[in-house]
Structure 1
Amino acid sequence: MTGALTALFAIIAREALRFVHQRERFVAALVRPLVWLLVFAAGFRAALGLSITPPYQTYITYETYIVPGLLGMILLFNGMQSSLSLVYDREMGSMKVLLTAPLPRWWLLFAKLLGSTAISILQAYVFLAVAAVFGIRLLAVGYVAMLPALVLAGLMLGALGLALSSFIKQLENFAGVMNFVIFPMFFLSSALYPLWKMAESSRLLHDICAFNPFTHAVELIRFAAYGDFNGMALLWTLLALAVFGALAVWGYDPARGMTRAR
């Protein structure tokens, strides 16, 4: 147990140091959602009407609606970028040192996942603070209530990144795969538009968005931000976390996964 905890804290500390030394990563994580919040949302506000649907009890501005989706964007991009470091470590050889530690492989991957999730949550709350400066504030209880939702969503999206990184051999291929996964997941979700808006356009599009695990992660955050609970979103997010986590563990098993010796 002592060795497992030592490895856990060491891996989390390594993630934190890597994040501190990559300041541009922190800036980039804030610029993307802030551009959507302050530029795109201003243009879409007049074009998109939002009805009173749970968890909202009154009409809201478009900027307020997309805040949970932009928090999900931060978690999604950071989860993928953290997994990119695994591909880099594998090419440099340091991954072999980590995975040969006398500890269960799932524990090492969980430590990596926990470290990247902690960084994602830090970035999410900094974004909320900047948004509050521009007058976009949530309920006071929401800032606390959404923490478990952010943790669960961050773990799920980080596990997706780990699963993808186990199937990618070369660093240069990961960027293309990231774009192929990130943008469909983000745009085919409720991050930018409510599902009822999607249904007005296309029933098939609505069904795709409803099946997207990123949609349920965003809705889990959205409801938590207003002190509400969405059991279906919680169930789907947990299910996706279990599936992605299992794929990651399988992928990093040298006997069965895609990282076995060539």
Structure 2
Amino acid sequence: MTPAVQARRGVPHALQALRAIVLREVLKFSQQTGRLVSALVRPLLWLAVFAAGFRNVFGVAIVEPYDTYIPYDVYIAPGLIGMVLLFNGMQSSLAMVYDREMGLMRLLLTAPLPRSWLLFCKLCATALLSVLQALAFVIVALLLGTDLPVFEWSVLHALVALLAGALMLGALGLLLSVHIKQLENFAGTMNFVIFPMYFMSTALYPLWKLQESGAEWVYQLARFNPFTHAVEWIRFALYGKDPGLAPWVVLGCLAVFFGLACWGYDPQRGFGGLTKRGGGA
């Protein structure tokens, strides 16, 4: 068989792998109704309870990208959308560790397709589920009275930002799954990833508030936090404003995280610990 024929056949096989992996994750998610409920309850509690006590905090100043005074629930809505993406990205890391424990990752990564493509298929499945959950949250937030410009043309840009943020955080979860060797270690590792990334960002307060309060070190950490740029891209895109460097930071981090994850799942390094664990069994 000539290389040209192999290449032509390789494309359908690659697309079939993408379809199969994405469908597997979607079907698995559809059978876990509690997962969707928990994904919605968490940000909705922040929106309905936490935001209620600070509803007019940002009425004292106009902050970009807003052109007028805004209630607090409107400000934190993009951050809560980011929370959905963040938690699902970390949830995908747990699923990867579980698949590795069950031996499914070994079967996947020994398939006759490039390892990077197979991991990309997993990443696409994670991002799709993240976006669907985020859209479900937006619908419920609108029903609760949060004023979001979802009926403007800028929402198309926001969907691009949403997808890019989901891919970046999914790639981070993929990278973390390389280093989390056992399910028992997952909770501790996540506590050192999710909460610092979320609270040291602009999800709950703008950067200038951190600097104004004198918390300079928190301000600097928030500036260089990739999650900050994902949230800001979503926020600015919703209102049709220029997000600045945020897209470049998000896409750059996506490339770095995914590249490191592919390197971590190198068969010569034991598929992220798979060979070593399998050899000791």
Q: TM-score range by the shorter chain?
A: over 0.9
Residue 246 in structure 1 maps to residue 259 in structure 2: yes
Residue 164 (1) aligns with residue 176 (2): yes
Could you tell me how far 1:254 is from its partner in structure 2?
Answer: 2.4
Asked whether the equivalents of residues 56 and 71 of structure 2 are also in contact (C-alpha less than 8 Å), the reply is no
| Contact 2:59 2:70 survives alignment (8 Å) | no
Q: Who is 2:279 aligned against?
A: none
2: distance between equivalents of 1:88 and 1:12?
17
SS of aligned partner of 1:255: helix
Which of residues 8, 23, 26 in structure 2 aligns to 1:16?
A: 26
In 1, are the aligned partners of 2:171 and 2:258 still within 8 Å (CA)? yes
Q: Given the alignment, which residue of 28, 31, 38 partners 2:38?
A: 28
Partner of residue 186, structure 2: 174
Q: Deviations over 1:74-114 (max 9, x none)?
A: 00000111121110011011111101001111111111111
Q: Distance in 1 between matches of 2:73 and 2:56?
A: 11
Aligned equivalents of 2:125, 2:220: Cα separation in 1: 33
Instruction: Supply the distance in 2 between the matched residues of 1:190 and 1:40 (Cα, whole angstroms).
Output: 16
- Alignment correspondent of 1:56: 66
Return the offset for 1:49.
4.8
**After superposition, where does 1:91-240 map in structure 2 within 5 Å?**
91-139=101-149, 140-141=151-152, 142-201=154-213, 202-240=215-253
Identity %: 59
Q: CA deviation at 1:259?
A: 2.5
Q: Give the Cα separation in 2 of the matches to 1:259 and 1:71.
A: 33
TM-score by length of 1: 0.96
Q: CA offset at residue 204 of structure 1?
A: 1.6
Q: State how far apart, in whole Å, the 1-side matches of 2:60 and 2:132 are.
A: 30
CA distance 1:254–1:50, shift in 2 (3 Å): farther
8 Å contact from structure 1 (residues 253, 260) kept in 2: no
> Residue 55 of structure 2 contacts residue 71 of structure 2 at CA under 8 Å; is this kept in 1?
yes
TM superposition shift of 1:6: 0.4
How far has the Cα of 1:174 moved from its partner?
A: 1.2
Contact 2:58 2:71 (C-alpha < 8 Å) held by counterparts:
no
* Deviations 1:211-246, CA, capped at 9 Å, x for gaps: 100000000000111122313101111111111111
SS of 1:231's equivalent in the other structure is coil
The alignment partner of 1:136 has SS state of coil
Q: Report the 3-state secondary structure (helix = DSSP H, G, I; strand = E; otherwise coil) of the residue aligned with 2:146.
A: coil
8 Å CA contact 1:50–1:60 kept in 2: the answer is no
The answer to whether the Cα contact below 8 Å between 1:4 and 1:103 also exists between their aligned partners in 2 is yes
Matched, 1:89 2:102: no
Unmatched 5+ stretches in structure 2? 1-10, 277-281
Q: Distance in 2 between matches of 1:260 and 1:96?
A: 7
CA distance in 1: counterparts of 2:224 and 2:247, whole angstroms: 14
Gaps of 5+ in 1: none
> What amino acid is the match of 1:235?
W
Change (3 A) 1:46 1:138: closer
Contact 1:253 1:259 in 2 (8 A): no
8 Å CA contact 2:100, 2:274 repeated in 1: no
Let me know the Cα RMSD of the aligned residues: 1.3
Structure of larger gyration radius: 2
- Following the alignment from structure 1 to structure 2, what is the Cα–Cα distance between the partners of residues 143 and 261? 45
Opposite residue 76 of structure 2, the aligned amino acid is I
